[in-house]
Amino acid sequence: MAPPPPSPSMAPPGLIHSAPGPPDTCALLPPPPAAASVAFAAAAASMSGPAVETPSAIQICRIMRPDDANVAGNVHGGTILKMIEEAGAIISTRHCNSQNGERCVAALARVERTDFLSPMCIGEVAHVSAEITYTSKHSVEVQVNVMSENILTGTKKLTNKATLWYVPLSLKNVDKVLEVPPVVYSRQEQEEEGRKRYEAQKLERMETKWRNGDIVQPVQNPEPNTVSYSQSSLIHLVGPSDCTLHGFVHGGVTMKLMDEVAGIVAARHCKTNIVTASVDAINFHDKIRKELATSSMEHPLLRHHYLRAHDLYEQ
């Protein structure tokens, strides 16, 4: 299987989508040319041990099945989002454990705004490629590209691009954030641009944490055709398959649930087939434990943006 086209290391955030269940294939891509990639190194003043190289990119491939899609055959946005998060979690966890020391699991902290460039259909193969583009002392930036492939014709198209931020949490103490092994950049500008993106997302993340109490409350007996009338709730009992090694829910699972309830709201309001068009930036401020019930509630003004299916095809 040919690797997907390399994504620009400083590309703006794009789109996403995900799929339930383990991937059918997980392949490591060879490191891109040194002149155009971020080379990984384990040397840092604050860390000891020999230098260790980690793969600069990975790819997950999975064929889309009927249970991944809506009745019209379009793959759910939440399915693609979950696949994106899985790829990001793999490469960031691997990098954070590339040196001898306390073992950890990378937890999703933030996903930048993402747009869905084109729909993916049942029977197509999703190629999800991820690479690390920046690291700070306690966080990792991962950029993910999603390509869809029609295996009958060989046609490929870019469907999503996404930027995700992870933090390494100790396996022994989930409340302990560990240091991230540094990366060596081929160009000085890469580190400077990455630092600017890091500071920007950190500021916005703090602002949303202050507003975290602004929760949409359900309205009893709302008037028809109002915002409150479109509200919908979804309750999900968290099981082992939803969780990380810490026993907390994967960020991708949470995003999939959000997309499901938002899709219900949008379809009820539009009374037709809808597809995910974009998702605003999402910050993860707290953990959801295994065997707890989690609920989501959406209305048309929050987080997700949907289009009628024929509108998306025309764009």
Mind giving me the DSSP string for 137-186?
SS-EEEEEEEEEE-TTT--EEEEEEEEEEEEEEESS-TTPBPPPPPEEES
Cβ–Cβ contacts within 10 Å for residue 258, how many? 22
Q: How far apart are CA 261 and CA 10, in angstroms?
A: 32
Per the annotation, the verdict on 70 as an active-site residue is yes
Above 70 in pLDDT, residue 12? no
Above 80 in pLDDT, residue 6? no
Q: Which of 61-65, 74-78, 217-221 has the lowest mean pLDDT?
A: 217-221
The token pair at 158 is 């870019």
Per the annotation, the verdict on 273 as an active-site residue is no
Confidence tier at 230 by pLDDT (50, 70, 90): confident
Average pLDDT for residues 5-21, to the nearest whole number? 39
> Residue 93: what residue type?
T
Above 80 in pLDDT, residue 55? no
Above 60 in pLDDT, residue 315? no
Q: What is the pLDDT of residue 42?
A: 36
Look at 55 and 271; give whichever has higher pLDDT: 271
Q: What is the pLDDT of residue 17?
A: 36
Which pLDDT tens digit goes with each residue over 231-269? 788 888 888 888 888 888 899 999 999 999 889 888 888
Question: What's the Cα-to-Cα distance from 195 to each of 14, 31, 179, 303, rounded to whole Å?
Answer: 19, 23, 16, 26
Q: What is the pLDDT of residue 215?
A: 59
Look at 59 and 306; give whichever has higher pLDDT: 59
Name the active-site residue from 70, 115, 273, 283.
Answer: 70
Are the C-beta atoms of 163 and 13 separated by less than 8 Å? yes
Which pLDDT tens digit goes with each residue over 34-52? 334 444 443 333 333 433 4
Which pLDDT tens digit goes with each residue over 116-161? 999 999 999 999 999 999 999 999 999 999 999 999 999 999 999 9
Which pLDDT tens digit goes with each residue over 156-175? 999 999 999 999 999 999 89
Question: Where is 205: in which H helix or E strand?
Answer: helix 188-210
Q: What is the pLDDT of residue 22?
A: 41
Confidence tier at 212 by pLDDT (50, 70, 90): low
Q: What is the pLDDT of residue 216?
A: 59
Q: What is the pLDDT of residue 245?
A: 82
Name the active-site residue from 173, 259, 273, 283.
Answer: 259
> Residue 160: what residue type?
N
% residues pLDDT > 90 (the chain): 48
Q: What is the pLDDT of residue 210?
A: 66
Q: What is the pLDDT of residue 108?
A: 95
